[in-house]
Structure 1
């Protein structure tokens, strides 16, 4: 009886723990991240990013929001410079379904299966890099990366960008081990 009651809770937990974005980070282990209190965007680097100006604005607003939640503020004389980069690639998935008396997966050849259809779907996988550069030393000190599938739905774009940025910046500052 307990198992039946726990099953819905387990399913809700599994669904809520799934995220549409995979995140990674890397950082200089010799840096004291508590020294960084202010930031500015690295205009020269951001200008080179080949995405729409609207998407750049969405990403920068999301970064502003997340860094301010961490107690950081924008400054003309910043401790950190924030740069972004993006990368995308088209992914093709081929699924083959056999018609007939079964699906034909498993060992050997099944003479009772006939016909079949292949379905090809494509999706765009996007990567957003957020680099934090020590403004005085001009050295990269932290890099976050988020990888996920991009939505073609313009209504969800801002929400999706906010999720990407929030998930990436969850990893900043690095946790002491």
Structure 2
């Protein structure tokens, strides 16, 4: 009975952990004085993109995903844009150590001749990434909107592109901002 309960609890914790790893936590900030309806065209801001400290393959994946999201919102890529798009990306290795104890009958009540127990240490390593998408007013050269997404990254190459698309899609879902009344 106790092992079944413990196994069920462990399965629930793993399920919650795995589903939370799939989501991207998104926050956005913007200039409330800006009318975002005036922006119709965009271009990528090369000096900003060149500073992003990620490999060129991932940069291209991110830029393609941003371009797809903006064009799906009705924006047109232009040589004379209203908005300049820049990115900042970072990642860090996150190491978690879990100490698990499975005890037998009477555990925790002092000495027991029938006592048994088992200690397990589990170590897991994941990569957490952050992606910032900056939208800059091309005429004023001022940042008008910034979206940030934080979540876990896949090292599996087949899933990497899909994960990047998910990051960008969830960040761009909050653009244009809708001011609260």
What TM-score do the two structures reach when normalised by structure 2? 0.81
Alignment-derived partner of residue 50 in structure 1: 53
Q: Secondary structure at the match of 2:61?
A: helix
Q: Which residue of 2 aligns with 1:140?
A: 143
Residue 51 (structure 1) shift: 0.9
Alignment partner, residue 169 of structure 1: 172
- The aligned counterpart of 2:157 is 154
- Is the Cα–Cα contact under 8 Å of residues 98 and 113 in structure 1 kept in the other structure? no
Structure 1 unaligned spans of 5+: 1-16
Where does residue 13 of structure 1 map in the other structure?
Answer: none
Contact kept? 1:39, 1:82, Cα under 8 Å: yes
Counterpart Cα distance in 1 of 2:137 and 2:150 = 25
Mark the CA change 1:51 to 1:114 in structure 2 (over 3 Å): closer, same or farther.
same
Tell me how far apart the structure 2 counterparts of residues 65 and 44 of structure 1 sit (CA, whole Å). Answer: 21
Secondary structure at the aligned position of 2:65 is classed as: helix
> What is the number of residues matched between the two proteins?
158
* 1:48-105 alpha-carbon deviations (Å, 9 max, x no partner): 1111111100000000000001100111111110000011111111111124317x7x
In 2, Cα distance between equivalents of 1:159 and 1:124: 16
Q: Which runs of 4+ in 1 moved over 2 A?
A: 108-115
Q: Show the counterpart of 1:5.
A: none
Structure 2 portions without partners, runs of 5+: 1-18
Q: How well do the aligned residues superpose, as a CA RMSD in angstroms? A: 2.1
**8 A Cα contact 1:132 1:143, kept in partner:** yes
Q: Which residue of 1 aligns with 2:74?
A: 71
State the TM-score, normalizing by the size of structure 1: 0.83
The CA distance in 1 between the partners of 2:69 and 2:171, in whole Å, is 10
SS in 2 for 1:157: helix
Q: Give the direction of change, closer, same or farther, for the CA distance of 1:86–1:113 in structure 2 (3 Å limit).
A: farther
Asked if the contact 2:97/2:121 (under 8 Å) is kept, the reply is yes
Q: Check if 1:60 corresponds to 2:60.
A: no
